[in-house]
Amino acid sequence: MKWLFKAVAAGILSLAILSAFNLIYSFSGIHIANPSGATDYTWQSGQPKSNMTEGFSWLLMDENGFRNKKVPSKSSVNILMMGSSHMEALNVSKEEDCTSLLSEALPEMSVYNIGMSGHTLYRCVDNAEAACEVYSPSDFLILETDAVALSEEEMSLVLSGNAAAIPSYDSGLLFYLQKIPAIKWIYKQCTDWISLSKKVTASLLDSLEDSFPEETANTTTLSSEYQDTLSSFLGKLQEATGKTGCQTVIFYHPPASAAPSGEILFSTDPVYLKAFADACAMQDILFLDMTEDFASLYQEQHLFAHGFSNTAVGSGHLNRYGHELIARRLFEIIQNVQKESLQ
């Protein structure tokens, strides 16, 4: 019995020590369902978050559970930012993300960021109507994406209203367990390992397929059904912003890698890129492709827009160089739109 007591005490002490370490080193926080539907979930109000595994940051979420320095009144939002973990930008300091940089460049405008991890373009389009109803952006709705080769199936699910939201645990055992940083960290390591295993398996299968190329040329062709679905998908976004009268902007930040020759490589399929750009133009959405900007950054300064000193260079999330370039280009677009409106 004495041995059991010592074992339990040692386990509790180990969890406490590991939790204290995780609070400093890597604590993703507790997310809860967002009843407004502007996003699938938010972090708890005032949630502290730390990250030293990919980039470096120690942050406090705002009272709404998003990453912002201050919360404007919902009727005064000029620019609403939506996106995934790239937009949420938990890998850089609060002064280095594109939302903060844009706010500095446009002091007369209120910029609010509701970017959340896991909210790819599919989720953002699905949530856009609710987001516009909640925050009523008067001037711009800006969305982020790192992919333009979209899945026709995923887009169709959004259009039919059958897309699955990202789940949250607001009660029960899992809700209380995720409050313990050590357990949250162990859970995340397990899910990351499962996700990585799936990616490795898919990569191996792709490699095997590439080992047996077909005799016909491997040229991407998009069906008319795909292009119609893409146009309707982006049209749903425009319907959401139509009530506010704001201008929609989508910026694309392609992942890159360095070739053995030293050149920068982008995996973007030009056929999908053109189809996406054309669909945006058809729906009066301003499309910003950051490919040339990222290429110039590498060629002129030998820097990547993604990746950090404690991860693989060129991969992962946007770093401060990427955020700075994006903020600069978004500022130019906003300035041009404002000038045109005055003519």
Pairing status of strand 79-82 against strand 57-60: unpaired
Whether 204 maps to a domain, the answer reads no
Q: Which two tokens stand for residue 39?
A: 């996003």
Whether 213 maps to a domain, the answer reads no
Q: What local confidence, expressed as pLDDT, does residue 208 receive? A: 46
Contact 62, 71 (CB under 8 A): yes
Whole-Å CA distances, 16 to 5, 19, 184? 17, 5, 13
Residue 206: pLDDT band (50, 70, 90) is low
Q: What local confidence, expressed as pLDDT, does residue 295 receive? A: 95
Percent of the chain with pLDDT over 90: 57
Q: Which two tokens stand for residue 3?
A: 């041995």
Q: What local confidence, expressed as pLDDT, does residue 215 receive? A: 40
DSSP 62-116: -TTSS--SS---GGG-SEEEE-SHHHHTTTS-TTTSHHHHHHHH-TTS-EEE---
Pairing status of strand 57-60 against strand 48-51: antiparallel
Residue 192 has pLDDT above 70, yes or no: no
In this structure, of 6-10, 90-94, 196-200, 220-224, the range with the lowest mean pLDDT score is 196-200
Residue 137 has pLDDT above 90, yes or no: yes
Residue 71 has pLDDT above 80, yes or no: yes
Q: What local confidence, expressed as pLDDT, does residue 217 receive? A: 42
Residue 171 has pLDDT above 70, yes or no: no
Residue 314: pLDDT band (50, 70, 90) is confident
Of 6-20, 211-225, 238-252, which has the strongest mean pLDDT? 238-252
Q: What local confidence, expressed as pLDDT, does residue 21 receive? A: 62
Residue 308: pLDDT band (50, 70, 90) is very high
Q: Which two tokens stand for residue 169?
A: 């645990």
**Count: domains in the chain:** 1
Q: What local confidence, expressed as pLDDT, does residue 339 receive? A: 86
> Who contacts 36 (Cβ-Cβ below 8 Å, separation ≥6)?
130, 134
More confident residue, 59 or 238: 238
Whether 196 maps to a domain, the answer reads no
Candidates 137, 98, 93, 114; CA nearest to 328 is 98
Residue 211: pLDDT band (50, 70, 90) is very low
Whether 22 maps to a domain, the answer reads no
Percent of the chain with pLDDT over 70: 82
Mean pLDDT across 138-152: 97
Task: Please provide the average confidence, as pLDDT, over all residues in the chain.
Answer: 86
Whether 53 maps to a domain, the answer reads no
3-state helix, strand, coil in the chain (%, to 5): 50, 15, 40
Whether 52 maps to a domain, the answer reads no
Residue 213: pLDDT band (50, 70, 90) is very low
Q: What is the pLDDT of residues 20-52, one digit of tens each?
A: 666 666 777 788 899 999 999 999 888 888 787
CA 252 – CA 250 distance, rounded (Å): 7
The number of angstroms, rounded, from the C-alpha of 101 to the middle of its chain's C-alpha atoms is: 17
Of 23-27, 53-57, 81-85, which has the strongest mean pLDDT? 81-85
Question: CB 313: neighbour CB atoms within 10 A?
Answer: 15
> Who contacts 158 (Cβ-Cβ below 8 Å, separation ≥6)?
122, 125, 126, 233, 236
Mean pLDDT across 64-85: 89
Residue 218: pLDDT band (50, 70, 90) is very low
Q: What is the pLDDT of residues 249-286, one digit of tens each?
A: 999 999 898 888 888 999 899 999 999 999 999 999 99
Whether 96 maps to a domain, the answer reads yes
Residue 318: pLDDT band (50, 70, 90) is very high
**Taking the alpha carbons of 235, 240, 246, 252 in that order, is the dihedral positive or negative?**
negative
How far separated are the first and last CA of the chain, in Å rounded?
84
Mean pLDDT across 85-99: 93
Whichever domain contains 127, its CATH number is 3.40.50.1110
Mean pLDDT across 158-176: 83
Per the structure, the complete domain to which residue 337 belongs is given by: 71-163+222-342
